[in-house]
Structure 1
Amino acid sequence: MGSISASRLARLSLEAALACIPATAWGQDALPKDSSAKQEATPEEIIVTALKRDMSLQQVPTTVSVIGGSALQAANVTSVEQLTTAVPGVRIQNAPAGLVNPTMRGLGSSPSNNSFEQTIGLFADGIFLGHPRDYSAALFDVDRIEILKGTQAAVLGKNTSVGAISLVTKKPKDVFGFEGSYTHEFFQGSDILDGAVNVPLNKTLALRVAGQLTRIGGWIDNRLTGRDEPSTKTNAIRATLAWTPADNLKWTVSGQYSDYKLTGQPFYAAVDQLGRLAATSALYGDPNFVAATSDRTHATGRAGNRGLGIDNDGQRYVSTLELGLGDYTVTALTGYSKYKDFQMVSLTGTVNNPGLRSGNESDHAFSQELRIASPDRGAFSWLAGGYYYNDKWNFDDTFDVIRMAGTPVTGAFRTYYRQKTETLSLFGQGTLRPIDHLTIVGGLRYDHADKSGSYRRDILRPGLLTTVLFTPFAPATLRRKEEFVDWSASVQYEVMNRTMLYASYATGSKGGGFQTDPTVLSAAEFKDEHAKTIEVGAKIGFAPGSHLNLAFYNTDVNDYQIAFFTGTSFIVRNDDIRSRGVEAELAWAITDGLSLSGNVTYADAKKTKAVAGAIPGLVFAPKWSGVGKLSYQSHERQGLRFIGDAIVEFRSKEALNDAASFVIPASPGYAKLNLRLGVRNDDLGVELALIGKNLTGKRVVNYAFPAFLQTGGALVATDPPRTVGLQLSIKR
């Protein structure tokens, strides 16, 4: 896994800017039967709805990327955590216990504390999903994903301090139709099946039912069990009803169920500087253990316990009622979601799991938003509303440590944590157009939050672990109240047709709270997080279907919430940090069916106040990242159309742990090549494609943490290796 030099990265970023396609142009569905490549929707026509107004993508005064559902399906993206391969500047890493760690422009919530609210907010059909576990839910039958980069203060349903990901599912239509896709991947033996049917029940009522089944094989060779790990299974179904009894009334309701099961774990022991992991393995009858930077493991569960892995199931219900009152629109958005989850992790990556962590997690969340909007025309328009959020989250965490080499620490305990969050918000936004071509937008938001964390820690088996590191707690409850006032302002000027300049400023806040596994209760609380982002940019259209976008940004965050595992305990801090840089996006429709484009992010993220023993920068924050696509689509010949996509995804090196002394300081940079070659019959709506990912076989470490109580040892997770699959899809 070789590193990439700075000069090569600079050159690669420029090449990618000319040889890639941005997420904005990936969002198009398959062409209708009588269409040509020229008739595809251009990026200027893509509509963004996450900011509560229907806005053309090229008219939004901030950096937004949009990727369409057909592109997600074509790339076999089945969960939010796989978006790293599709969206530049967004990194999503695996973390222990099935958590994920999303970052934008080098900023995001640390995955080592389950109770963090997400710095990058996740929304599904406008409903806020507030826990890291929500990122692992099945992703299917999606109309588009909108990626909003930078602080979003005023109108989002829950404040997010550095960005947001908004999922928009497909809604019922008034015509019958169906679609489906099946993919078999040959190297890992994976199968992905999804489909949907749209049924108009009468003139005012339509139903859409969609589902997904996945069986994904692993790539880490477990030498003791003979399995390739981790393997995953997902089953999901969603039903959506749309009722339009009158021109001024529309009601859409949906219900979704999904379950997710992971067998094994994506982490394995890669470093054993002092030989302690090998000695521990020998204690339990495995003298052949070797820690190495290759995708193999000797990790097993412990006799008498459930095996390593994750078992999760969840439900989500959404109601959107839109009522027109003259020229005004009233929207009521109601959401309820719940999930339950079990996970078991080996913290040493050795046989018999002598450092065992297991947890039971559950969540119930309810939200209600009510807003009214004036017509979006004339010299002044506005919207205003209120938002209520209630979340009850439970996490029971067990550590069970038996004999290990080089340490006398043993013992077992269980921490019971119950968290209740209640938030009430008021928000408003006004748009002023004082003269032709000039638009000024201002937004204001007030949030009041009450949060409580209730603890109990029981000793299951006494030992040094429970008398020195994690002592018992009597039942206790900690409480905090928070009030935030955040605002945003932007000004944009249309210099000429399809070309505008803009500047924006926004503040954002994220609530504080209590860590789930403190060593002592007095250290459990962490402070709220406050961000300020300024962005200046230009969006320039220079030919049909072509544009150049540039954005310069600076984000400062006070009391940035960071958490990491030291090998003995979890540390939570509030640091002062900033990220500044530039994003460049080029889309160029060269000829009918041939497009070249690219999107590159440069992010310089670092601490503004030094922290003893910590790195000066931030974890999972590469300076350079980009993803793109060279796409070709032939004219129809004898009923067939040939298609081809060449996709490049790259990043520079990134730190893997905040501790300056960590045994794996950084993951080197990489560039990956993905190809998709296929043939489509537009009359039948059938497409057959060969999909290859990571064809150059880059081995990329995306996460690492120190082995529990095994000094000099570390576990890592890696991206999947080369995969090649055959996909058959139909859309009618």
Structure 2
Amino acid sequence: MVNGLLGHASWTALALVALASPSLAQAQEEENAPDTAEEGQPPQQKGLGDIIVTAQRVEQLSQRAPLPIDVIQPEELAQQNVLRAEDLSRITPALAATGGAGGTTVFFVRGVGNTTVNAYSDPAISFNYDGVYIGRPSSTSGVFYDLERVEVLKGPQGTLYGRNATAGAINVIPTRPKLGEVSGRFMFGYGNYDWLTGEAAVNLPIGEKVAMRASGSVARRDAFLTDGTGNQREHAGRFQIYAEPNPDLTLRIGADYAHQGGASASGFYLGAVDPTFGPTGFAGYNFTPTGFPRTQGLIDPASNALLSQRFIGQLGRTGAVVDSSPFNDNDYWGITGELTYSTDLGTLTVQPAYREASLEYAFAGAFRRGYTKEEDSQTSLEIRWAGMLGDSIDYQIGGMYFDEDISANAHYNQQSLVPYQEFSTGTESWAGFSMVTFHVTGQLSLTAAGRYTSDKKSFDGTSNVYILFCGNPAPPQDFCPDLPFAPLLDTEEAFQDFYTSRGIPVTPVPLFVLPPQAGGSQTAPFVLRSPIVIDSALKNDKFTYRLAAQYEFTPRNMVYASFETGYHAGGFSFARGVETYEPETIRAYTLGSKNRLFENRVQLNVEAFLWKYRNQQFSQFGYDLGNPPSTVFLTRNIGNSTIKGVDIDLEVMPTETTQLSANVQYLDARYDSFVYYAPNQGLPPNTACSYSPTTQTTPGGTINVFAIDCSGNRSFNSPKWSLNLNARQEIPLGTHKAVLQGGTRYRSSSYSTADYLPYLKSRGNFVSYASITLTDADESKFVTLYVNNIEDNQRLLGGTTNPAGLIVSNAEQPRTYGVRIGSNF
């Protein structure tokens, strides 16, 4: 099990010896050197600055935290125009994030994650805003402004932070009010696509012991796509008040609101997939690229012209179009309290929170229209106690309660199939946790942490699936040139009336299997009504833990090793035969080193990791096990994987005005076992994986399926190489200065779909940026000219096949450029 880790660890050790050892003696001399600052004044910080993080629920220097973490500063967020959660993937190499319909965001860290885009499954990466776990991936919008920092934790989070997560955590930490300070800032930006961004914040004292901070943001942009989808209309605001009645007691209350308008991007047609036949029958699938640019949306007339020519065998006709009007009308708000009370024995922290989301959105993609209306509410309470036992033991102990309730209705028009869903779901989670660190010597520390979690989930809902058929769906082909495509109607009643008024029966029994005297027909069109009813509950309990050791050669050079486990609860799907899925677990081994060298001008961090993933969950569009099967979005357990690699982070400050950085990640992530099933309806599945016919027993009877085996393939969203290079140069200009910044990121190729088709591979590419800023000496006023994605490379983001055999894909942002002006006071 540990051979892979030991191999990578050997390279890590060699790198550390080569790079760090010659400097350890020098570093020790620096630490012991006399303080040259004037008496009574703190020594001046030289070289690279220190960053405070709270990834372990206590404040500590990032360079002394024995865990893998990327810290993103506010300047980087502004540089990369980070306005939504998916934008973070442009900064941290370990993270892959993709925006979906409505406000949904899909996260993967080093190949671990899931494409959670509905209300009945939980994300594998914990998203925490202001210390509060956010249960819905649709509720991560409207928070990326006026921030202290963003922390991206890599690896399972099974002890202290939020709810359990197998892949990692994203912690978004707002700037907090400051006592006795009048200060503020604003930033205004304008760029191509009429991209308008604005952000402002003000901090005001209210007497000597109270302060308030108010901030807000706005983002408006035209669409990247020619059909007008993917435009942005967002605004948000936050208000905080902080009180410190005495040095031992603090209280902070924060409230925030965000609105997301605009529309989700529809995507573009990558190509067409058609079966081919030879003298002996089926000969394979042929892929024909459309040649469409990645900015040509699905509702563009040229895209609809292609779709309308495609023959849909199930309906026996051509003429389909995408004619919906995608939109977002989503509102989010929440309130958070935080009380801390310090005593001689320790510090008590109490953090209650309540959040709501009201979502209504429509999107296109592989559908004619998908629509969701959803109401979410969550209540959480976390209580922690941190203290010391003597001079050698630090400890934390605490508990968390989380309660979430969701009610929703949705329908997904796929031209030939429409499920109408109405459901409610709830989650109640309790957890108790603790962490103890024993300082064996002044240099060696040992840590043990554990967490017991109890998750209860309930689901009560109905999905009535309507499937259109032009007579017998099996060959020989029937033709129905006048059969209407599934209409854009909001209710089942209207949908049924639409067809029955035209003499087309709606029935729960396939008419072609009935004799003529019972209304059966081999040729007449009909609509099959297939209900899916779920009224179920799940209960999962798990103890997860972390063991770590840390050795400090000097206060700025240390090594650490850890073993930790993670757990992610099971859940539900609206899918017959696969209504529920089991929890997934992960074990992670980490060996790392963090170093500051050469008078604090070089920072070198190295991490080797080995993760063993069990009973992995995967969410995708696919078929359920009904008879006949329905196209659904479902989550299933697909098997196990092994993930290993090395992460190297280097920052160099050769002069006081020059800063260079490089972050390189090598990743070998593969599925040890990955098997899933697709219905056998005559033609074999379109996949690069091996497959074989078999049968499965379902509540509706025995059905024929293909067992698809993708074992041995690379994990999803796991490029072998990820690289970020950045440079910053200050040029003095009298009472002003110019700041030149530039950099590039590289991601090698990766897959994000379960069929591993070569034309759906995301090809490796470079994406570069550059900016020039003119500011005064104290950086109180600035103007910046910037360009992002200089190469105009738009990396492919997966693909889904629609009923007409066209592959719908999405891509990263195109080239953007503009100007930002701002002031700090």
TM-score bracket, normalised by the shorter chain, equals 0.7 to 0.9
Query: For the structure 1 residues 639 and 294, does the alpha-carbon distance in structure 2 shift closer, same or farther, using more than 3 Å as the test?
Result: same
**Corresponding residue for 1:425?**
431
Opposite residue 722 of structure 2, the aligned amino acid is S
Deviation at 1:417? 2.0
Residue 237 of structure 2 corresponds to residue 237 of structure 1: yes
The alignment's TM-score, normalised by the length of structure 1, stands at: 0.85
Q: Determine which of 372, 394, 397 is the counterpart of 1:381.
A: 394
**Corresponding residue for 1:647?**
743
**Corresponding residue for 1:570?**
633
Residue 657 of structure 2 corresponds to residue 593 of structure 1: yes
Residue 426 of structure 2 corresponds to residue 399 of structure 1: no
Query: For the structure 1 residues 485 and 259, does the alpha-carbon distance in structure 2 shift closer, same or farther, using more than 3 Å as the test?
Result: same
Residue 655 of structure 1: SS of its match in structure 2?
A: coil
Whether contact under 8 Å (1:81, 1:135) holds in the other structure is: no
**Corresponding residue for 1:57?**
62
Could you list the per-position Cα deviations for residues 180-232 of structure 1 after superposition, in whole angstroms to 9, with x for gaps in the alignment? 0001013x11000110011101111111000001102222112xxxx4x3111
Distance in 2 separating the partners of 1:43 and 1:121 = 30
**Corresponding residue for 2:718?**
621
Deviation at 1:89? 1.1
Opposite residue 723 of structure 2, the aligned amino acid is G
Deviation at 1:512? 0.5
Residue 759 of structure 2: SS of its match in structure 1?
A: coil
Whether contact under 8 Å (2:101, 2:264) holds in the other structure is: no
* Greater displacement, 552-561 / 41-50: 41-50
Gaps of 5+ in 2: 1-14, 20-42, 277-288, 305-319, 467-491, 497-504, 511-526, 624-630, 676-706
Q: Determine which of 181, 185, 194 is the counterpart of 2:187.
A: 181
Whether contact under 8 Å (1:614, 1:658) holds in the other structure is: no
State percent identity of aligned pairs. Answer: 20
**Corresponding residue for 2:454?**
448
Deviation at 1:262? 2.4
Residue 222 of structure 2 corresponds to residue 217 of structure 1: yes
Residue 334 of structure 2 corresponds to residue 316 of structure 1: yes
Deviation at 1:106? 1.6
Residue 292 of structure 2: SS of its match in structure 1?
A: coil
Query: For the structure 1 residues 304 and 75, does the alpha-carbon distance in structure 2 shift closer, same or farther, using more than 3 Å as the test?
Result: closer
Residue 586 of structure 1: SS of its match in structure 2?
A: strand
**Corresponding residue for 1:555?**
611
Deviation at 1:113? 4.9
Residue 358 of structure 2 corresponds to residue 340 of structure 1: yes
**Corresponding residue for 2:295?**
295
Distance in 2 separating the partners of 1:323 and 1:106 = 41
Query: For the structure 1 residues 306 and 314, does the alpha-carbon distance in structure 2 shift closer, same or farther, using more than 3 Å as the test?
Result: farther
Structural mapping, 1:371-520, within 5 Å: 371-375=384-388, 378-402=391-415, 409-410=416-417, 412-458=418-464, 460=492, 461=495, 472-473=530-531, 476-515=534-573, 517-518=574-575, 520=576
Distance in 2 separating the partners of 1:649 and 1:552 = 21
Whether contact under 8 Å (2:578, 2:636) holds in the other structure is: no
Deviation at 1:434? 1.3
Opposite residue 384 of structure 1, the aligned amino acid is I
Residue 587 of structure 2 corresponds to residue 523 of structure 1: no
Deviation at 1:98? 4.5
Opposite residue 144 of structure 1, the aligned amino acid is R
Distance in 2 separating the partners of 1:426 and 1:641 = 52
Q: Determine which of 807, 811, 821 is the counterpart of 1:714.
A: 807
Whether contact under 8 Å (2:102, 2:138) holds in the other structure is: no
Residue 791 of structure 2: SS of its match in structure 1?
A: coil
Whether contact under 8 Å (1:110, 1:561) holds in the other structure is: no
The alignment's TM-score, normalised by the length of structure 2, stands at: 0.76
Structural mapping, 1:690-705, within 5 Å: 690-705=785-800
* Greater displacement, 103-112 / 291-300: 291-300
Distance in 2 separating the partners of 1:118 and 1:476 = 21
**Corresponding residue for 2:645?**
581
Query: For the structure 1 residues 297 and 78, does the alpha-carbon distance in structure 2 shift closer, same or farther, using more than 3 Å as the test?
Result: closer
Distance in 2 separating the partners of 1:617 and 1:96 = 26
Query: For the structure 1 residues 291 and 366, does the alpha-carbon distance in structure 2 shift closer, same or farther, using more than 3 Å as the test?
Result: farther
Distance in 2 separating the partners of 1:686 and 1:564 = 48
Could you list the per-position Cα deviations for residues 578-626 of structure 1 after superposition, in whole angstroms to 9, with x for gaps in the alignment? 2111100111111111011111111211111142535422222211112
Q: Determine which of 160, 167, 175 is the counterpart of 1:155.
A: 160
Distance in 1 separating the partners of 2:275 and 2:565 = 49
Distance in 1 separating the partners of 2:342 and 2:566 = 31
Residue 329 of structure 2: SS of its match in structure 1?
A: strand
Residue 88 of structure 2: SS of its match in structure 1?
A: helix
Query: For the structure 1 residues 697 and 474, does the alpha-carbon distance in structure 2 shift closer, same or farther, using more than 3 Å as the test?
Result: closer
Opposite residue 232 of structure 1, the aligned amino acid is Q
Could you list the per-position Cα deviations for residues 361-415 of structure 1 after superposition, in whole angstroms to 9, with x for gaps in the alignment? 221011001111104982111110111000012232202344xxxxxx45x4411
Residue 78 of structure 2: SS of its match in structure 1?
A: helix
Opposite residue 590 of structure 1, the aligned amino acid is P
Distance in 1 separating the partners of 2:160 and 2:674 = 34
Query: For the structure 1 residues 644 and 377, does the alpha-carbon distance in structure 2 shift closer, same or farther, using more than 3 Å as the test?
Result: farther
Could you list the per-position Cα deviations for residues 418-474 of structure 1 after superposition, in whole angstroms to 9, with x for gaps in the alignment? 111001111111010111200101001001111101112346235789867985447
Point out 4+ residue stretches in structure 1 off by more than 6 angstroms. 38-42, 300-306, 463-470
Distance in 2 separating the partners of 1:52 and 1:334 = 15
Q: Flag the structure with more relative contact order, 1 or 2, with Cα contacts below 8 A and sequence separation at least 6.
A: 1
- Report how many aligned residue pairs link the two structures: 660
Distance in 2 separating the partners of 1:470 and 1:500 = 65
Whether contact under 8 Å (2:405, 2:425) holds in the other structure is: yes
Opposite residue 553 of structure 1, the aligned amino acid is F
**Corresponding residue for 1:730?**
823
Whether contact under 8 Å (1:449, 1:481) holds in the other structure is: yes
Whether contact under 8 Å (1:268, 1:299) holds in the other structure is: no
**Corresponding residue for 1:405?**
none
Could you list the per-position Cα deviations for residues 653-681 of structure 1 after superposition, in whole angstroms to 9, with x for gaps in the alignment? 01131124x47330101111100111111
Deviation at 1:152? 2.0
**Corresponding residue for 1:630?**
727
Query: For the structure 1 residues 210 and 470, does the alpha-carbon distance in structure 2 shift closer, same or farther, using more than 3 Å as the test?
Result: farther
Query: For the structure 1 residues 587 and 304, does the alpha-carbon distance in structure 2 shift closer, same or farther, using more than 3 Å as the test?
Result: closer
Opposite residue 627 of structure 1, the aligned amino acid is N
Question: Alpha carbon RMSD of aligned pairs, Å?
Answer: 2.7
Structural mapping, 1:33-432, within 5 Å: 45-111=50-116, 113-174=118-179, 175-186=181-192, 188-222=193-227, 227=228, 229-263=229-263, 265-274=265-274, 292-299=292-299, 307-348=325-366, 355-375=368-388, 378-402=391-415, 409-410=416-417, 412-432=418-438
Whether contact under 8 Å (2:561, 2:591) holds in the other structure is: yes
Whether contact under 8 Å (1:144, 1:168) holds in the other structure is: yes
Gaps of 5+ in 1: 1-13, 19-37, 277-288, 403-408
Distance in 2 separating the partners of 1:155 and 1:314 = 26
Deviation at 1:304? 13
Opposite residue 163 of structure 2, the aligned amino acid is K
Distance in 1 separating the partners of 2:442 and 2:528 = 65
* Greater displacement, 645-654 / 263-272: 263-272
Deviation at 1:536? 0.6
* Greater displacement, 248-257 / 543-552: 543-552
Residue 530 of structure 1: SS of its match in structure 2?
A: strand
Whether contact under 8 Å (2:80, 2:90) holds in the other structure is: no
Distance in 1 separating the partners of 2:543 and 2:587 = 12
Distance in 2 separating the partners of 1:700 and 1:627 = 16
